[in-house]
Structure 1
Amino acid sequence: MSSGEEDIGYSKKRKLQRACDHCRRKKSDGPQMPNNRCSRCVTRNMDCTYDEVMQVSTIFSGLISHTQSTLSKSYVEGLENRLERVEALLNKVCRQQLSSCALARTNAGRSSASKTPTLEISEALRNMPSISTPYGDTGGQSSDDEHGQGGLTEAYYKRLLSDVPSYRFHGKSSTLVLIHHAMHMKFKLMGPGPAPGEPGYQPIGQYHRHPVCSSLPLVNPVVLILPQKDLLDTLVDAYFREVNNLNPVLHEPSFKRSVLQGLHLRRGGFGAVVLLVCANAGRFVDDPRVLVPGTTELASAGWAWYDKVDRVWLLPVAPVELHDIQIHALMAAFLWSTAAPQAACPVISSGIRLAIDIGANRKMMYSSPPTLEEELYKRAFWCLVAQDWMVAYGLGRPPTIHDEDIDVGLPMECDDEYWLDDLGKPSFKQPDGKPSKITAFNCYIRLSQILLFAVRTIYAVTKVRMQATRADPNWEQRVVAELDSSLNKWVDSLPAHLRWDPERTDTVFLTQSGLLFAHYYHSQIAVHRPFMSPTTNGAPRSFPSHIICMNAARSALHVLDMVHQRTGKIPYTCVGHVTMAGTVLMINIWMERMSDRRIAGSSRDLVSVQKCVELLDHLKHVYVILCPRVQHPDHLRLDMISARAAEIIR
């Protein structure tokens, strides 16, 4: 039996190497006799003991003299027993570690078979956060579907809360799950309770209808300040043309049909959605009526409608409805385009929490195929997640939700006009050979997933980095290499209509392709930026990372400049990409001046910086929106880089 298979408390019987106490300094056959009793003690009928102190001669290398030390028998045996227990524990831990490594390799093999690019994390990086199973690839079964251990399924919710218009999601650890099992056992032992109309019958969900929990109107339709009919139609068209193609929160046909039917005048929640659509679209409409009344400042476009919702909006007490999540997604999109983008963080976080409240992040809560409302839930949820992950990197803050907390699939790649069939029933059938506009959004989420992994590893807090360094001193180089590999796989997985082609005739796909590649180069800079910072003498920490950042910055500006030349505009969400690329190029120029040597490509960087200034000047009125309630709005976020670039050029 090996030492790893023995019980921890088991101690081997050691072979004695010395004479007993009575036979000390005499020849003794005790070690060869049964029970270690020497023949002399057996003959004399004496106890054969080994308790006296022995002299140990310890010889140290390089020393001539000997040092005599005394060790008791009990002390030596205690040390040997402790050593044996440690060996047994180490063997047990090693067996568990080998099992976990095998499991990690198995999961990595499963993930590599998926179309979604994932990161293959080496064994040395086991302590770092890893990319979870691709969304929707759960083998057709949610992890919470098992009876006795899983959460409550949608069918049970609809049965339990049949009198309630909505429901909330509860996972495995919820107390309601335990209550459900107790009720199930009671039903088996005692049978069903009183039927409706019988004494003692208590309708399930009656306490949910308390007035304080009723669905209160988010915005009173009586006090709505809606734009005029012609301006409202123009704003709605501008929203779906400029915003929804990149941030698909809404379904265009059903939204326009609801507006035409006047639903926004009867339901406050939908009225707030309409106001936020007008607010987001105001920056794309050249009409003085979109400005804040009493001002001619173009940067105030749309703020009056947003301010109306912001003043009366409250977190819902009643179960969450679709409009609640859509309002958060639209508010966050508006705030992220203001001079105070950090204001979008709490809105995004509360929106995701509301979505989690109804299980929008769980596959088990959706039908197959989904209904129109369920697909809108999924769209709004993923829009919030995409914003959350971008804010996490853009502001250097922890994300609200991690990818391992999500197992729902990505939005269906079907354009809005193909959601319903001729009979008005959901079909979600995209015509063969016609690319979908939603594909770009799904690709954007997959790329943001890689960026999120970089945020949680390269930009992790010191505690996590120290743990990874103890496991593998070279973990940063390994993570960067794996991130580069994942980015390359992402580019290779792009469909033909989203690959970069400046001669593409379809302006929608050209704009989407430009956004994706700008985000791709932005992610490359994010991966290598920590290693390009200059040292005291002006040289970069890592020349390969420095070169990658420079090339990515130039490529991003080139792509966005081509989109601007072809369409006369660039995606409004790319202002951060332009700012990052221009800043990286400016750092390159300053590093050249600090080191008093010529860096390859620095002369053409001046031309690229000039392009950056022009792009930022174009985005200045689209992106930076003034807040009337702020006395000193921050204009410097975009103007700072423009002024700095102009100073360098001079």
Structure 2
Amino acid sequence: RACDVCRRKKIRCEGPMTSHSASKCASCEEYGFECTYVEAAKRRGPPKGYVEVLEQRCGRLERLLQQLHPGTDFIATVGPMPDKDEFDLQEYSETLKTLGIPAYPSMKPFHLSGDGSKSHSHSATSCSPISPPAASAPSPSMQILGPTPWKSFEQDPNRPPEDPQDEMDEVSLNVRISESMNKLDIRGQPWRFHGKASPHHLFLMFNELRRNKDSHNFMEALSQTKRPQYWQVPEWEVVIANEGLHPIDYSVWPDDEFAEQLIDAYFEFTNTELPLLNRLLFKRQYKAGLYKQHHAFAKVCLLVFANASRFVDDDRVYWPVDDALTEEGKERLRTDTDGTLRYSAGWAYVRQVVKMGKSIMQGPNLFDFQVMVLMCCFLHGSAVPHLTWLLSGAGLRSAQEIGIHVRSILIHADPVERALYNRAFWCLYHLDRLNCAAIGRSVALQDTDFDADYPIAVDDEYWDTGDPETDFKQPPDAGVPKVAAFIHTLKLDHIIGAALRTIYAINKLPEHRSDPAGQRAVVVELDSALNSWADSVPDGLRWDPTRADQKLFLQSAQLYSYYYYCQILVHRPFIPTPKHPNTVGLPSLAICTNASRSICNILDAVLRRGRQHGTLPGHAMPVYFMLPAWIAFAILLISLYSGRQQPSERERAMTDVKRCIAAMKEMEVLWRQAGKLTDFMIEMFRE
């Protein structure tokens, strides 16, 4: 041990061993100091970096606990996080006493909520272990969404079905139900899907049991004994089923050259964003004159023309002046002093679709689904955008009518037809989620109610190559499939659906109504899913403002603006307000503000790129930027009014707000609804 003098000087000391004196060390003997060993040795601090490593280890353990039990509040059991800069041991000890936390190594008793155990008294020196959840109980993080909710919808040729026999039974049961109904010779009875809860399955089971015992077929016997007045579709229903259907008025039909121009515009601007149709197949059907023979396909063509009309510079797409209801209206269209005539583009084709009618008693077919999607696309930026919520919801109901929401039902269908049905279903799904979030309503179909695969990630030209070995296979050198961005958009839609049924639910689950920890757990889980989504995006679709490929640039811009919109949607309800200053303990305002700034950066990059390329007015900013721009603007205003910003941050927020307005002004050139939002923005910005 070093003597007191050497310890204070922090020099080497070997005591009397190397000294000529029997009682002094060499240093004290040389300098004549009194050599003593009375001062208590001070405890040395930990090695450099030891505390930092401990903090990191503690942080990992905390994150692990949050993953195992998201939303659980451990502060009341282990104490709050100490402040490194202003730490006061006495004050912190008092805080622990206030929380009833005993001195270490003793622990305060802790029990997970909902584990069925009751609190028992423990001595202050005992350690109360945390009871693990029951093996049969799902992890709380998996009850709402799970880390990758889209996995079950991804196409994987190596994925075995959960039970191959169940999948085949699902198909055969529905086929046998249909065949049984056909044996009853019911006129006008179309194919309908019957789920496992339907009593039809029980009667089919009963029929098989009877047949196995006495070879008596119940359905065949019923076809002989049934009373026709209760089984045949009555004449008046047959008449009404066709009532309201009118032939096509070809006076509005474009000539061949103009039709081709409109079709090309549709596939360049609309089908890229919402991939519904196969370009090669549609053109083949159109040139074959299918619209002259098939009522529903004619509607598809008219709505293709309607959607394309916004992107062509031709007077033939505008509303005829003579069709205005009043003289004042005719004069307004004729002079077009306020520029409103451009918003009439395509409506003449839509009117013809409405005139052709739709029977409410006829079952849906592929073209009917395509009509619903195309009508939603057209109405998206109109004066009645709320109708898209109704139409997409009705479309998803119709999808269940024939079973295209079930993976196994179309397994025996033609591959091209199956792929088109699949695209129509997912387009309706996306439109439903998008519009439900926009107007705050519930979705039409929950994710647990279907198992359809995502659209095939193969470009249109590789669907039918003439060689079964290469059909529906994207060549390695073909680049990123055009539908890939849409598939990743659908993955975000799953998160939106989960947020709507939990965070935004009208009648929340009891454990989430007034429990901040439960609400926090939901947000943490949704955040985790968003992080998983960001990790799963391929390099070709990641946001890069310098990307040279214009189509991939726009696709990634829309994809990431939608991602940041989802982030805002998840955290928006937990932004502190004067009425609710304490939320769930998350930095929700900061998260929403950062996401809004990211949206503004994307909007600015897209607008700049469009102007650099000489894009026509209104064409630089697709309509799907409207909702992200609108919500980013609102969040930035709230952030400005929060009063928590530095002058530089406030100036940046003002710049971002102006970017939102500039983007909306670009969209209003083609989309009437954007003009309304621009007026809102300008008036709110004046404040």
TM-score (norm 1): 0.72
Deviations 1:570-614 (A, max 9, x none): 22211111111112112222333xx8x746611112211222111
Correspondence for 2:32: none
Distance between the aligned counterparts of 1:467 and 1:195, measured in 2? Answer: 49
Deviations 1:8-30 (A, max 9, x none): xxxxxxxxxxxxxxxxxxxxxxx
1:482-561 paired onto structure 2 within 5 Å: 482-535=525-578, 544-561=587-604
Given that 1:557 and 1:578 are in contact with CA atoms closer than 8 Å, whether structure 2 keeps it comes out as: yes
Indicate which of 665, 679, 682 corresponds to 1:617: 665
| Corresponding letter in the other structure for 1:249 | L
Indicate which of 349, 352, 364 corresponds to 1:305: 349
1:589-628 paired onto structure 2 within 5 Å: 589-592=640-643, 598=646, 601-624=649-672
Alpha-carbon offset, residue 158 of structure 1: 5.9
| Corresponding letter in the other structure for 2:621 | I
Alpha-carbon offset, residue 275 of structure 1: 0.8
Distance between the aligned counterparts of 2:660 and 2:449, measured in 1? Answer: 38
Alpha-carbon offset, residue 379 of structure 1: 0.5
Give the SS at the match of 1:364. Answer: coil
Distance between the aligned counterparts of 1:166 and 1:540, measured in 2? Answer: 53
Correspondence for 1:170: 194
1:196-595 paired onto structure 2 within 5 Å: 207=232, 211-212=238-239, 220-222=247-249, 225-294=252-321, 295=333, 296=336, 297-367=341-411, 371-422=415-466, 427-433=471-477, 434-461=479-506, 463-464=507-508, 466-469=510-513, 472-535=515-578, 544-567=587-610, 568=615, 569-592=620-643
| Corresponding letter in the other structure for 2:677 | R
Correspondence for 2:678: 638
Given that 2:511 and 2:518 are in contact with CA atoms closer than 8 Å, whether structure 1 keeps it comes out as: no
Alpha-carbon offset, residue 257 of structure 1: 0.8
Correspondence for 1:23: none
Distance between the aligned counterparts of 1:232 and 1:432, measured in 2? Answer: 34
| Corresponding letter in the other structure for 2:206 | A
Given that 1:221 and 1:267 are in contact with CA atoms closer than 8 Å, whether structure 2 keeps it comes out as: no
Deviations 1:537-578 (A, max 9, x none): 999997821111111111112112212222441222111111
Correspondence for 1:156: 176
Correspondence for 2:16: none
Alpha-carbon offset, residue 339 of structure 1: 2.2
Indicate which of 149, 170, 182 corresponds to 2:206: 182
Greater Cα offset, 497-506 or 364-373: 364-373
Distance between the aligned counterparts of 2:211 and 2:403, measured in 1? Answer: 27
Distance between the aligned counterparts of 2:141 and 2:579, measured in 1? Answer: 44
Compared with structure 1, are the counterparts of its residues 222 and 338 closer, same or farther at alpha carbon in structure 2 (3 Å cutoff)? closer
Given that 2:343 and 2:672 are in contact with CA atoms closer than 8 Å, whether structure 1 keeps it comes out as: yes
Deviations 1:245-267 (A, max 9, x none): 11111111111111111111221
Alpha-carbon offset, residue 441 of structure 1: 0.8
Q: Which runs of 5+ in 2 are unaligned?
A: 1-115, 118-130, 322-332
Alpha-carbon offset, residue 535 of structure 1: 1.7
Distance between the aligned counterparts of 1:552 and 1:460, measured in 2? Answer: 23
Indicate which of 140, 152, 161 corresponds to 2:161: 140
Given that 2:557 and 2:602 are in contact with CA atoms closer than 8 Å, whether structure 1 keeps it comes out as: yes
Distance between the aligned counterparts of 2:681 and 2:664, measured in 1? Answer: 9
| Corresponding letter in the other structure for 1:458 | I
Compared with structure 1, are the counterparts of its residues 325 and 412 closer, same or farther at alpha carbon in structure 2 (3 Å cutoff)? same
Give the SS at the match of 2:138. Answer: helix
Compared with structure 1, are the counterparts of its residues 525 and 599 closer, same or farther at alpha carbon in structure 2 (3 Å cutoff)? farther
| Corresponding letter in the other structure for 2:573 | P
CA RMSD, Structure 1 to Structure 2 (Å):
3.9
Deviations 1:164-220 (A, max 9, x none): 895110011213222322332343344376999xx9699x9x957974597889552
The number of equivalent residue pairs is 522
Compared with structure 1, are the counterparts of its residues 519 and 144 closer, same or farther at alpha carbon in structure 2 (3 Å cutoff)? farther
Given that 2:458 and 2:473 are in contact with CA atoms closer than 8 Å, whether structure 1 keeps it comes out as: yes
Distance between the aligned counterparts of 1:441 and 1:260, measured in 2? Answer: 28
Q: Which runs of 5+ in 1 are unaligned?
A: 1-89, 92-96, 119-130, 626-633
Deviations 1:352-400 (A, max 9, x none): 1111100111112121796111111110011001111111111000111
Given that 2:318 and 2:342 are in contact with CA atoms closer than 8 Å, whether structure 1 keeps it comes out as: yes
Distance between the aligned counterparts of 1:259 and 1:311, measured in 2? Answer: 21
Give the SS at the match of 2:271. Answer: coil
Distance between the aligned counterparts of 1:448 and 1:304, measured in 2? Answer: 33
Greater Cα offset, 310-319 or 244-253: 310-319
Compared with structure 1, are the counterparts of its residues 108 and 485 closer, same or farther at alpha carbon in structure 2 (3 Å cutoff)? closer
Compared with structure 1, are the counterparts of its residues 426 and 624 closer, same or farther at alpha carbon in structure 2 (3 Å cutoff)? farther
Alpha-carbon offset, residue 485 of structure 1: 1.6
Distance between the aligned counterparts of 1:139 and 1:256, measured in 2? Answer: 37
| Corresponding letter in the other structure for 2:597 | R
